[in-house]
Structure 1
Amino acid sequence: MKRIGILTSGGDAPGMNAAIRSVVRSSIFHELEIYGIYYGYQGLIDGQIKPLHIGSVGDIIQRGGTMLYSSRSEEFKTEKGRQKAIEQLKKHGIEGLIVIGGDGSFRGAQKLTEEGFPCIGIPGTIDNDIPGTDHTIGFDTALNTVIQAVDKIRDTATSHERIYVIEVMGRDAGDLALWSGVAAGAESILIPEYPYNLDEVTDKIKRGHDRGKRHSIIMVAEGVGSASDIADQIKDDLQVETRVTVLGHTQRGGSPTAFDRVLAGRLGAYSVDLLLEGQAGRMVGVQNNELVHHDIIDALKKTNEISKDLYKLSNQLSI
């Protein structure tokens, strides 16, 4: 293998640039040519492909987002679209592809592998919802972004004696809400993996009020439901003032933490090593601080499991 490509797909995550940098520099270290594919799978179909050099990835390790940009492609989901993509790869002499993204991006990588084109997936998503790795690139940064916001909201909640319902990202995975809720001392944490009982939430608020507490923070993963609806129910049940904050896409931005930069560096270099070993249709990850790789399909068939111990601890600490 003499020439490989790299693309980012789906939602951006802090640390993607650090991963791109690692792939590019590791490729050059191994005397490989490396090509950047811009705008994800759609850019691959359209031939938006350019060679990358050491200077191409200078001064990006600290930047959020992705220098290769990202987009979603309905065309790539079709057989005809994937054949166009493969034709572009062959046209540019690219023999292997590294894909940074989430589960949808990995499915695309697996499709290309099944059609004879070797791909390696690097997990990059703030949701931390990819099985087979303890951490995904971007999760730690997003977590710290949420915590900083909640700390500031708590100051206002305390001053005005209000209940704040804070909605964070996570349609199908509650890791961001759970970890940030525990770290920020939220009174209740509502995540998709566990059904919630609003009576239990209001009971906690009542108990806190009885011992002199005049404010509460309720963390809600977006997959649970509307934070506004939950806040209205609490307001109606307790006759108290509630406020809602939806953090939205602020969670995806910002300079990556040291943890995400190091994780991205490790996974990026490891993915290049695997391509050179002849591996294909694999995803890389880290488990118990050790680099690992799994079959992409096997990983995607599994359900990402929330930490039951951490969820239990959250309830124990929020009595």
Structure 2
Amino acid sequence: MATRQIGILTAGGDSPGLNAAIRGVGKAAMGYYKMHVIGFRDGFRGLMENRTMALDGGQLSGILTLGGTILGTSRDKPHKMPVGGKLLDMTDAIVANYHEHHLDCLVCLGGGGTLKNALRLKEKGLNVINLPKTIDNDVWGTDTTFGFDTALSIATECIDRLHSTAHSHHRIIVVEIMGHRAGWLALGAGLAGGADVILIPEIPYDVESIAEAIRERVNSGKPFSIVAVAEGAISKQDLAALAAAKQQKKATKEKARKAAKPPRKMDDGEADAAELIYASRTLRLAKQLEKLTGLEARLTILGHLQRGGAPSAADRILATRLGTAAADLIAKKHYGVLVAARGEGTRPLPIEEVAGKVKTVPPDHPLILSARRVGTNFGD
């Protein structure tokens, strides 16, 4: 029987545990199943450009504890790839390189965007398997994603350290934590770090409600507060402005369609409202709280600190478990799936069922209920 050939790539943002997952797939595939494994550099771009890296025992040795990814990564999409200053559909080139290497399966390590790209390749007839990677923990269908535990520990430690300066200077410390679409990281770190206010995308907030909670703390003899904010958190006012801007944009396009002419450009006011989702609302929040409470407010943006460094023990174990499960599925010729973490085991889910979905925080999630019980304010 011919030796099975598999390829591995890492796509999207870097995340702790990627190297552990590469190692898990590679060592199980080569050592246990006697398969041949190659890596593609820099995500789907490397597959398109046919830039490979041999993944033998030497390359996989010593990477379990390393952060980042030895393969490199990018956010390039197969169907919208920058080439020569233009966005081109390079899917056919990717399919051709897949067949040139006689691959039996392509293992993609990534989050929501990678899942959608893997689905596009599956629809082109390629055998793909996806492993759930993201510090946001927002991949639908899996209990957790590798990278999340490490980022959670880092964000929690940062909040711990900020408590002392908030207390010493009687300040409001606003901590911006990653999480555009889902608030798992801010919720977990805020709860573990004892934040007084936690703001997540799933619960639009009212600034006055937050200010009132902080004033109550001051009146009770606690002249400082920690506010943990997911970067995607949004106020009720901004949410209404965004909805109005989107509705106006939709009406403008429809009017232009009926008139059979190009739609007009938005004026500055409309453009400002539409861009609110991309602007840093956290700095504005800090200034508003300072004005409403009379306390000094300072903003700390954790940024890429949360994604860097060595993976935690939990992420190393999870990535290894998912990686070896991927090798098992390839051996069984079970393709086209996300390898989801379920309890102590794994479960293969058809990519069609998970691509395009986001695992958000339910408003009645036990962590939110626990946070409310200990007096945490969510701005609602």
Provide the C-alpha distance between the structure 2 equivalents of 1:12 and 1:301, rounded to a whole number of angstroms. Answer: 20
Q: Secondary structure at the match of 2:355?
A: helix
Provide the C-alpha distance between the structure 1 equivalents of 2:17 and 2:320, rounded to a whole number of angstroms. Answer: 9
Q: How many residues are aligned here?
A: 319
Contact 1:171 1:192 in 2 (8 A): yes
1:255-294 mapped onto 2 (5 Å cutoff): 255-294=310-349
Q: Secondary structure at the match of 1:223?
A: coil
1:198 deviates by 1.9
- Residue of structure 1 in register with 2:61 after alignment: 58
1:130 deviates by 0.2
Tell which deviates more after alignment, 271-280 or 153-162. Answer: 271-280
Provide the C-alpha distance between the structure 2 equivalents of 1:205 and 1:101, rounded to a whole number of angstroms. Answer: 39
1:228 corresponds, among 283, 287, 295, to 283
Provide the C-alpha distance between the structure 1 equivalents of 2:319 and 2:351, rounded to a whole number of angstroms. Answer: 18
- Residue of structure 2 in register with 1:212 after alignment: 221
Provide the C-alpha distance between the structure 2 equivalents of 1:231 and 1:50, rounded to a whole number of angstroms. Answer: 46
1:291-310 mapped onto 2 (5 Å cutoff): 291-307=346-362, 308-310=365-367
Q: Secondary structure at the match of 1:224?
A: coil
Letter aligned with residue 141 of structure 2: G
Provide the C-alpha distance between the structure 2 equivalents of 1:315 and 1:24, rounded to a whole number of angstroms. Answer: 44
| 2:204 maps to 1:195 | yes
Provide the C-alpha distance between the structure 2 equivalents of 1:122 and 1:31, rounded to a whole number of angstroms. Answer: 21
1:290 deviates by 2.6
- Can you give the 5+ residue segments of structure 1 that lack an aligned partner in the other structure? none
Letter aligned with residue 63 of structure 1: L
TM-score when scaled to structure 1?
Answer: 0.96
1:36 corresponds, among 26, 34, 39, to 39
Aligned CA distance change for structure 1 residues 302 and 89 (closer, same or farther; 3 Å): closer
Q: Matched residues, percent identical?
A: 38
Provide the C-alpha distance between the structure 2 equivalents of 1:196 and 1:227, rounded to a whole number of angstroms. Answer: 12
Provide the C-alpha distance between the structure 2 equivalents of 1:298 and 1:254, rounded to a whole number of angstroms. Answer: 32
1:228 deviates by 0.8
TM-score when scaled to structure 2?
Answer: 0.81
Contact 1:12 1:70 in 2 (8 A): yes
| 2:132 maps to 1:127 | no
Provide the C-alpha distance between the structure 1 equivalents of 2:92 and 2:36, rounded to a whole number of angstroms. Answer: 23
Contact 1:10 1:102 in 2 (8 A): yes
Aligned CA distance change for structure 1 residues 172 and 80 (closer, same or farther; 3 Å): closer
Contact 1:192 1:223 in 2 (8 A): yes
Provide the C-alpha distance between the structure 2 equivalents of 1:143 and 1:23, rounded to a whole number of angstroms. Answer: 25
The structure 1 segments of at least 4 consecutive aligned residues displaced by more than 4 Å after TM superposition are: none
Contact 1:143 1:179 in 2 (8 A): yes
Aligned Cα RMSD in Å? 1.5
1:311 deviates by 1.2
- Can you give the 5+ residue segments of structure 2 that lack an aligned partner in the other structure? 82-87, 235-280
Aligned CA distance change for structure 1 residues 219 and 199 (closer, same or farther; 3 Å): same
